[in-house]
Structures are given as structure tokens and as C-alpha cells.
Chains A and B, each alone.
Chain A
Amino acid sequence: MKFGQAVKMAVKSILAKKGRSFLTMLGIIIGIASVMTIVATVSGYNQKMMEAFEAQGTNKITVSLYLNSGESGFEKVYDYCQGLGDDVIGVTPNSQAWSAVVKYGAKNSDTMEWQEQPRVYLGSDQYSKVNSFTVARGRDITKLDVEKYHQVCVLGARAAKTFFDYADPLNENIMIGGVPFTVVGIYAEKDAESSYSMDSVIVLPYTASRFMPNGGGDVSGECAVKVKDSQTINPVMQRIQAYLDGVTQNGDYGYGYAYSEQQWQDESSGMLTMISVVLGGIAGISLLVGGIGIMNIMLVTVTERTREIGIRRAIGAERSSIVTQFLVEAAMICGVGGVIGIIIGYGGTHLAGRLLFDGMSLYPSPEITLGAFAFSVSLGIIFGMYPAIKASGLQPVVALKAE
């Protein structure tokens, strides 16, 4: 018997008992819809978080050192980090000038809403590399800018928009901490969705700290290090921490720390996966119940159709044809239930994103969708197996006598 024939038979048999077929599907529909909603919501949320993390710069370690003596720890840290060797592919000062007011024309950062306020950072020519920025227009900060105390800056896409709207910022002078800086470049936009965005940075050569309020005294003395891959984050971080502990005598003379967002990104990602597994597993119980429902109804069907099976066997159906017929029927009930469940799961995931995560636009990934479909069909095959084998094992002579 050809497979297409088995499919036709299954369609016929399912349509012949629509009400029963639908009730049987219901278990699968509910199970697939709930598992899918949970897994897709959690993994979708995780995905968005990862994207936000990645926008901050991947494989990045931030290092700070504060000394009780009041001496700046920055120089020590920056020198040390530049000598870290091959695992490190970029080092930059990464200090935020908290109190630097930015002005251009009538725009003044002091009077802006916090979401709009630019964040002024001091960096080297490697700032963009370490923080995963690319230059969209103009040029990046250069070594020469650093060495020669050039009063230049590069704007994040959002900062450029805030101060210049649709005007061209290149070669305009912008007042930062009361000192003019010429805009030489603009970074490409990174994360349009986040409200506290990396795109609102304004980056100056770090040697410009001398122009900052208080002679640079308000500048946080941080550095950032980019390592070559995620495996090297921890070893490098440990080395830096050991150095910092040495300098501060384990905290006696100040404090220093090295941290990576990767750390808690991994932690939170791991936790979300755990939540997804636990909740998905609980919802999965309903799938198990649905599967048992399929098995039950297929057993009833086989009993009801014993005579039909006898007739088919008598006129030449092989055992395998009977197995195929009932397996395809079970797989089809589950497959159709799975598709309906997936559609509901799409709605559920979207709704969960809107309600639970502040209007986040979540949809199940193609992998989850395909996985859910494959899972529901295999559920039919697994739970249809026993009834199908039972049907094929009927002796034709005995089955023909059934009423």
C-alpha cells in the first residue's frame, strides 16, 4: 500500500467522526499551546536580553580601581591592562564624565529628560572596538587625537539625533563641560529598542579629561578590556582581580574590581532556561495526558473496526499496511491538533510578551514552531504505536467474525 493511500484513509476516518476527533485533539491542542507559550516566551525574552547584552559589547571586562590615598588608580589599571598579552584584543579607558554638561545651540543636557541625556565617555582609539561600535559617518577617535589632546568627539546615533535632529553634526562644535569639541564621527545605531541606550554616548579622547569640570576629578577611573572569546573572560578577569588585590593589599588601601556582564548574562540566561524547563515540564504533563487520550481513542477505534481490519487482512493487506493505516491516523490527529496548538501558542506568546514584559514584541522562533509540530506528530506515532500493533496482530479469521 502506498503512503498517500494511508493518508487518504486517515482523513476519511477522522472526518467520519469529527466530534470525537476534535475532543481527542483537544488534549494535544492545550498541551502544545501551553508548552509553546511558555518555552517561546522565556526563550524570546532571553533572546532579547542577549541582544541587549551584546549591544553593550561582548567579551568585555570592566576594571575599576579606587585608592584611599586619593591618587588616581586609572593610570595603574590602564598600564596593567595594556600588558595583558594575546588574550586581550583591545584596551580602552572607559570613564564616564558624570558631571559634564553638554550644550549645543538651545539644547542643554541639564534640562533634558533622563532618557534623552547623553552620556559622556572618555576613551582611546580602541573605545569603539571594545564596546562594539562601528563608525557610520566621519571618523573614529585616533591615537593622534589622544596624544595631541585634540578637542574632538564621536556621537552615538541617539546622541546625534538628540542634539542635531536631521541636521548634519559633522564638524559642528558642541560644548562639553564648557569646552568646545568638534564632532568628527557618528557611530552606527546599536539597539533601537532599549530606552537606556548605548546609542546616547558621546566619546572624547581620554586625555580630554583635563578639560572636564574639577580638572577631571569627577571622572570615574574605569578601563574596559575586550578579550578574544568568551572562554578567555574568566581567566583574564581572575588575573586582573589578582593584580587589583595586590595593589590594594586586599582592600586595605582602596578597592578594585573587575567584572563582566557576561557573568550575569550567563547566570540569568541559565536561570531563564531552568524556569523554561520547569514550567514547560509542568505543561508537558498535559501533553502526556493528551497522548494517553490518543492511545485510548485509538484502542477504541481498533476495537470498533476489528471487522474492517479482518476484511482488509483477508483481501490482502499486510500487517505493515494495517500498522501504517492506524499510525498515520494517530499522527494526523496529533499533527492537526499540533497546528491548532501552535496557532494558539503564537497568540499566547505575543500576549505574554505584551502583558508580562512591558509590551515586548515576542513571537515563537521558527525552531520552536517546527519543534512543536514535530513533537506533536511524534506524540501521535508513539502513543498510536501500541493500538496500531494491536490492530495488525489480529488474526484475519478471528477479526472477520467480530460484530
Chain B
Amino acid sequence: MLITLKDVYKIYGEGLESEVRALNGVSLEIDYGEFVAIAGQSGSGKSTMMNVLGCLDIPTYGDYFLAGQDVSELDDKQLSHIRNKQIGFIFQGYNLIPSLTAVENVELPLIYQGVSAFDRRDMAMEALERVGLAARAKHHPGEMSGGQQQRVAIARAIAAHPPIIMADEPTGALDSKTGLEVLAFLQQLNKEGSTILLITHDNGIAATARRIVRLSDGKIIEDHEQEVDWL
């Protein structure tokens, strides 16, 4: 099993009145090579779920095993290494660094892996080529359209070839045509063996995943396999 959540709680605030249970006893297993959509309305806890799964945040209670490793036992440095090597993040707001060019943004995870400047540039250009943006490598994010920026963000997520890709509303800021291109690309990555976690509030988008996990009020209310619209 790649991911195992056992009775995980994430509670914000203290005291019975003010506490918010963003995750309220969630158990979940995800295997290698799956394509899972984590769906739910805003406030359902899906973003908290992604933060916990992405080792950006730690659960208040409960166990999280990633590839057999108990994440709660890891310190900040080890969590950083997991985020760096095991997970590629695609965020809703692209989250590119505006002062860096496209290729420099894509290089970032490789920098923190200590890859040499020469190999880094090669790997970053390869990733940009895959998303069809090699020609714009020297452009800054501000000089690109939203769709192009999201493709740079995807290139950054895949540059280090992590086994897991986590995409948080990757199409949220894009028009539908560009959004479909992004989803098709995620399906392609899944076919090539990556495990994909797609967080979305949109059922149409969730339909592109083979498995859908629906959250509401911090609990899983639905978890099943489905027929996929291959894009």
C-alpha cells in the first residue's frame, strides 16, 4: 500500500465551542498507480486532506503511513525530503516564483535535491518539453498565460520524476479547453505509472479519475471505482 490513513483527525482551534474538525476520523488506503479524485464542497476538508497527504501538515491524531513509513515519526527535515523526492505538487494558483524564469522554476525541486547545475538544466528542459513549453523556458511567469503557467507548474511537479503527483484544483483558474488538456496530461502520467491524487470540487473533473473519494464535513461519505472518461 502506498498511502494508509488510519482514523486521522485534523482539529483546528481549542475547546469544544471553537474547535473545527477539518478531518474527522478519516481512514483511507491508496495503492501504487491509482488515480484518485478527492472530491467535496468547499469546507469539506479536502484541502486539509491534501496538506496531510502531501506532508505539508501533520494530523492532530491518527496514523499516516506513506510507503510503510509512519509519517508522524519524521522530523521537519525528513518531511522536506519526502515532499522533495516523493511528491510533485500542482497548486490551484500555480505558485510559481515570479522573479524566476520558467526553467528556473522547474529546476527548484532539483536544486533542493542537490542535482548539479548541468543535469538540472537538462532535466528541467526535458520536463518543459513534455508540457510543450520548451520554447518559453526563459520567460517569466508574468509573461505567460494562465494555462502556460499551470503547464510550467506541472513541469516543476514532474521534473524530479516523483512517484506521486498531487494536484489541488489544477484546472480551477483555467478555461475549460485548457483545463481538459491539463486533465488529459494527468491521465497520461497515470498511464505511465504515477500515482495521481486530484483534489477538486467539480464532479465533472472528478469523473476523469478511476476512483473517487468524496468528503463532507471532514468525513468520507463515498469511495468507489468508476468508469473513466479517457480524454
Contact = CB atoms under 8 A, between A and B. Distances in A.
Interface in B101-136: 108-109, 111-114
A2 B114 contact: yes
Contacts of A395: 57
Nearest to A321: B112
Contacts of B114: 1-2
Contacts of B84: 315-317
Nearest to B48: A397
Given A1-B112, A400-B95, A315 B83 contact: yes
Contacts of A313: 80, 83
A315 B97 contact: no
B99 interface: yes
Interface string B57-81: 1000000000000000000110011
A321 B77 CA distance: 10
Interface in B82-99: 83-85, 89, 91, 95-97, 99
A316 B95 contact: no
Contacts of A16: 99
B51 interface: yes
A198 B105 CA distance: 72
A314 B56 CA distance: 7
Contacts of B95: 307, 310-311, 314, 400
- Categorize the interface residue count of chain A: 20 to 34
A311 B99 CA distance: 13
A254 interface: no
A150 interface: no
A1 B111 contact: yes
B211 interface: no
B56 A315 contact: no
A12 B100 CA distance: 9
B201 interface: no
Q: Which of A12, A308, A315, A395 has the most CB of B within 10 A?
A: A315
Contacts of A310: 95
Interface string A298-322: 0000000001101111111111110
A397 B83 CA distance: 13
Contact of A12 (B56, B57, B96, B99): B99
A308 B105 CA distance: 11
Given A311-B97, A318-B80, A396 B56 contact: yes
Nearest to B112: A316
A319 B77 contact: yes
A198 B84 CA distance: 74
A315 B84 CA distance: 5
Nearest to A400: B95
B76 A316 contact: no
Contacts of A2: 114
Contacts of A311: 95-97, 108
Nearest to A316: B84
B80 A316 contact: yes
A318 B89 contact: no
Q: Which of A12, A16, A400 has the most CB of B within 10 A?
A: A400
A314 B57 CA distance: 10
A13 B85 CA distance: 26
Contact of B85 (A12, A308, A316): A316
B91 A317 contact: no
10 contacts: A1-B111, A312-B108, A313-B80, A314-B89, A315-B83, A315-B156, A318-B76, A318-B112, A397-B56, A400-B95
Interface of A: 1-2, 5, 12-13, 16, 307-308, 310-321, 395-397, 400
Task: List the 9 shortest-distance A-B pairs measured between CB atoms, nearest first.
Answer: A316-B84, A316-B112, A318-B80, A315-B109, A316-B83, A311-B95, A396-B56, A317-B112, A397-B56
Given A308-B99, A311-B95, 17 more contacts: A5-B111, A307-B95, A310-B95, A311-B96, A311-B108, A312-B97, A312-B108, A313-B80, A314-B91, A315-B83, A316-B80, A318-B76, A318-B80, A318-B112, A319-B80, A395-B57, A400-B95
